[in-house]
């Protein structure tokens, strides 16, 4: 079988970017949560807030460190595998990606050290400021990256001269049509991710009766937050979808598994899209619902995949199913938030073990939803790299062979498997040791304090005897 460098490059990019996304999507939400906890402590001087902030800062440190490590790879991917694209788009993408790096460094140099190591050493107000600046910085980083990505979906403000994009208007290019929707959708996704992780971990601590005062507060806050944000995310997602319908109708057609342009389109709950036959097998749907959602009329016409030739269609089954995974998890989140409200009104929010256990089980779901959502939007753009202007095939590195791409794909999977395993393993130990009174906590013996490096903010040992970890 011939190895296809294009397919392998796409797989590789998908792999490294999915792996990387897991970390920032969590740290963006968590940074804001830590800033909130610091603010509450500053205002009320209630030590419970301080204990929570301390614990979550340790988790933040480890996750941030892993995000930085996986991010280094990202900054080289564009050149190694997509050199034609990088060269063509460099006038716009270069400054944007660099601004992201610059923002991250500025943040790390100036404020992260104070947040991680300044507790008790700098005035409380300054520590709070550092937390707020770190949270702000994560959003500025996301701003640049999402702007660059949105431009690839809805390019504008540029002119193509001699196969290179030249920027005519920075503001038009940066604030391109899909950017506000994507940014809002992703920002809320980050808060939801942070919210569900904090809720799940707090529930885990409550199930073990650890630091009840602090963890009840944390869980209560999270459930209020999720009660607001989970439904809001559904609405923002809907608006994002309508924006996509306007600019990338083929993507929406793939999301809905809609082959022929027509009115009275049903909302498919289940189907098996068959790209070769250009039709679905085993359709089960709600009549007219898709028309209603997308056009706000029952018989509204929706453009089908048949408007473009089969070569210009995205991989329909992947987009269709990823979309259903994302929406399904979103609905589950809304259900969990309302279940929390019901239990709160009965006064059993902190005692209902089934609910608490479900929350623990839901920790991984927001990450899955985010990855599924990104697969929808990125695969849905195929075969375009810059929508309507440059295809994946045109953007890939011409000198790349299938064997080279396969070698690095296997290499990155192997490297990340080790790093991810070590990181996740360590993170679970940090959590297991979390929120214990100081005397019961495991610390690294003679730990040397080395500032500035995120991971040194956590003092949990990496191995030693597993039994001594209190569960």
Partner 1 sequence: MEMFDLSIIWAGIIGFGIIMYVLMDGFDLGLGILYPFAPDEQARDVMMNSVAPVWDGNETWLVLGGAGLLAAFPLVYSVFLPALYIGVFLMLAGLIFRGVAFEFRFKSQRNRRWWNRAFCWGSAVATFAQGAVVGAYIQGFQVEDFVYTGGAFDWLTPFTVLTGLGLMAGYALLGSTWLILKSEGHVRDWAYRITPMLLAVVLFVFAVISIWTPFVDPLVWERWFGHIHLIWIFPALALLCALLVYRGVRQRRDGYPFVATIGIYVFTYLGLIVSKWPMIVPPSYTLWDAASAPESQLFLLIGVLFVIPVVLGYTAWTYWVFRGKVRVGEGYH
Applying CB under 8 A, the span of 75-83, 235-243, 247-255, 289-297 interacting with partner 1 comes to 75-83
Report yes or no: 340 and 223 within 8 Å, Cβ to Cβ: yes
Question: Which of 79, 263, 310, 388 is in the footprint of partner 1 by CB under 8 A?
Answer: 79
Residues 419-438 contacting partner 1, CB under 8 A: 419, 422-423, 426
Question: Which of 1, 277, 354, 418 is in the footprint of partner 1 by CB under 8 A?
Answer: 418
Residue 152 or 294: which CB sits closer to partner 1? 152
129 φ, ψ to 5°? Answer: -60, -40
453 touches partner 1 by CB under 8 A: yes
75 touches partner 1 by CB under 8 A: yes
Minimum distance of partner 1 from residue 160's CB (angstroms) = 13
398 touches partner 1 by CB under 8 A: yes
Question: Which of 348, 407, 417, 428 is in the footprint of partner 1 by CB under 8 A?
Answer: 407
Report yes or no: 137 and 103 within 8 Å, Cβ to Cβ: yes
393 touches partner 1 by CB under 8 A: no
92 touches partner 1 by CB under 8 A: yes
d(C-alpha 116, C-alpha 311), whole Å: 51
17 touches partner 1 by CB under 8 A: no
Residue 74 or 234: which CB sits closer to partner 1? 74
Minimum distance of partner 1 from residue 5's CB (angstroms) = 11
105 touches partner 1 by CB under 8 A: yes
Minimum distance of partner 1 from residue 101's CB (angstroms) = 4
Residue 95 or 300: which CB sits closer to partner 1? 95
Residue 91 or 358: which CB sits closer to partner 1? 91
Question: Which of 99, 205, 367, 384 is in the footprint of partner 1 by CB under 8 A?
Answer: 99
Minimum distance of partner 1 from residue 96's CB (angstroms) = 8
Residue 44 or 156: which CB sits closer to partner 1? 156
Instruction: Please state, as a whole number, how many other Cβ atoms lie within 10 Å of the Cβ of residue 60.
Output: 26
Residue 167 or 184: which CB sits closer to partner 1? 167
Question: Which of 14, 18, 39, 90 is in the footprint of partner 1 by CB under 8 A?
Answer: 90
Residue 103 or 202: which CB sits closer to partner 1? 103
Question: Which of 335, 393, 403, 417 is in the footprint of partner 1 by CB under 8 A?
Answer: 403
What token pair was written down for 429?
A: 């130990």
Residues 107-136 contacting partner 1, CB under 8 A: 108-110
Question: Which of 86, 176, 280, 391 is in the footprint of partner 1 by CB under 8 A?
Answer: 86
408 touches partner 1 by CB under 8 A: yes
95 touches partner 1 by CB under 8 A: yes
Q: HEC states along the chain?
A: CCCCHHHHHHHHHHHHHHHHHHHHHHHHHHHHHHHHHHHHHHHHCCHHHHHHHHHHHHHHHHHHHHHHHHHHHHHHHHHHHCHHHHHHHHHHHHHHHHHHHHHHHHHHHHHHHHHHHCCCCCCHHHHHHHHHHHHHHHHHHHHHHHHHHHHHHCCCCEEEECCEEEECCHHHHHCCCCHHHHHHHHHHHHHHHHHHHHHHHHHHHHHCCCCHHHHHHHHHHHHHHHHHHHHHHHHHHHHHHHHHHHHCHHHHHHHHCCCCCECCCCEEEEEEEECCCCEEEEEEEECCHHHHHHHCCCCCCECCHHHCCHHHCCCHHHHHHHHHHHHHHHHHHHHHHHHHHHHHHCCCCCCCHHHHHHHHHHHHHHHHHHHHHHHHHHHCCCCEEECCCEEHHHHCCCCCCHHHHHHHHHHHHHHHHHHHHHHHHHHHHHHHCCCCCHHHCCCCCCCCCCCCCHHHHCCCCCCCCHHHCCC
Residue 16 or 343: which CB sits closer to partner 1? 16
Residues 155-214 contacting partner 1, CB under 8 A: 166-167, 170
Residues 6+ apart with CB under 8 A from 145: 96, 97, 100
Question: Which of 236, 400, 431, 435 is in the footprint of partner 1 by CB under 8 A?
Answer: 400
Minimum distance of partner 1 from residue 118's CB (angstroms) = 13
Beta pairing partners, 158:
167
Applying CB under 8 A, the span of 204-212, 248-256, 329-337, 455-463 interacting with partner 1 comes to 455-463
466 touches partner 1 by CB under 8 A: no
Report yes or no: 349 and 220 within 8 Å, Cβ to Cβ: yes
Report yes or no: 349 and 219 within 8 Å, Cβ to Cβ: yes
- Contacts with partner 1 by CB under 8 A lie at 65, 68-69, 71-73, 75-76, 78-80, 83-84, 86-87, 90-95, 97-102, 105-106, 108-110, 166-167, 170, 397-401, 403-404, 407-408, 411-412, 415, 418-419, 422-423, 426, 444, 446-453, 455-456, 460-464
């Amino acid at each position: 079988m011939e190895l296809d460098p294009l397919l392998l490059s796409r797989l590789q990019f998908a792999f490294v970017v999915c792996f990387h996304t897991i970390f920032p999507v969590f740290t963006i939400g968590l940074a804001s949560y830590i800033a909130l906890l610091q603010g509450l402590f500053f205002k009320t001087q209630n030590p419970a807030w301080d204990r929570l902030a301390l614990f979550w800062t340790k988790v933040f440190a480890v996750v941030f460190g892993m995000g930085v490590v996986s991010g280094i790879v990202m900054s080289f991917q564009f050149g190694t595998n997509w050199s034609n694209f990088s060269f063509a788009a460099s006038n716009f993408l270069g400054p944007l990606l660099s601004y992201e790096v610059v923002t991250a460094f500025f943040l790390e140099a100036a404020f992260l050290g104070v947040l991680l190591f300044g507790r008790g050493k700098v005035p409380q107000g300054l520590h709070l400021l550092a937390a707020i600046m770190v949270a702000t910085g994560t959003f500025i980083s996301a701003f640049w990256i999402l702007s660059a990505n949105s431009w690839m979906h809805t390019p504008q403000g540029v002119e193509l001269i001699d196969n290179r994009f030249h920027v005519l208007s920075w503001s038009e290019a940066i604030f391109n049509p899909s950017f506000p929707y994507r940014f809002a959708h992703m920002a809320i996704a980050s808060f939801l991710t942070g919210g569900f992780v904090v809720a799940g971990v707090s529930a885990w601590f409550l199930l073990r009766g650890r630091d009840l005062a602090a963890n009840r507060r944390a869980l209560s806050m999270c459930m209020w937050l999720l009660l607001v944000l989970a439904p809001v995310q559904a609405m923002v997602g809907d608006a994002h979808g309508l924006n996509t319908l306007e600019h990338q109708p083929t993507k929406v057609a793939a999301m809905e598994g809609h082959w022929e342009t027509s009115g009275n389109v049903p909302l498919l709950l289940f189907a098996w899209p068959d790209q070769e036959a250009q039709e679905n097998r085993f359709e089960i749907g709600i009549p007219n619902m898709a028309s209603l959602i997308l056009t706000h009329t029952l018989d509204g016409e929706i453009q089908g995949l048949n408007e473009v030739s089969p070569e210009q269609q995205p991989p329909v089954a992947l987009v269709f199913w990823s979309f259903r995974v994302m929406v399904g998890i979103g609905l589950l989140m809304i259900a969990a938030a309302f279940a929390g409200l019901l239990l709160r009104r009965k006064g059993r929010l902190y005692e209902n073990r089934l609910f608490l256990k479900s929350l623990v089980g839901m920790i991984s779901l927001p990450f899955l939803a985010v990855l599924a959502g990104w697969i929808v939007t990125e695969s849905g753009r195929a075969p375009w790299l810059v929508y309507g202007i440059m295809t994946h095939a045109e953007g890939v590195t011409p000198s790349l062979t299938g064997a080279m791409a396969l070698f690095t794909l296997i290499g990155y999977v192997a490297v990340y498997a080790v790093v991810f395993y070590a990181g996740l393993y360590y993170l679970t130990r940090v959590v297991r040791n979390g929120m214990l009174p100081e005397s019961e906590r495991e610390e690294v013996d003679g730990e040397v304090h080395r500032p500035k490096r995120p991971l040194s903010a956590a003092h949990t040992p990496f191995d030693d005897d597993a039994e001594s970890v209190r569960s």
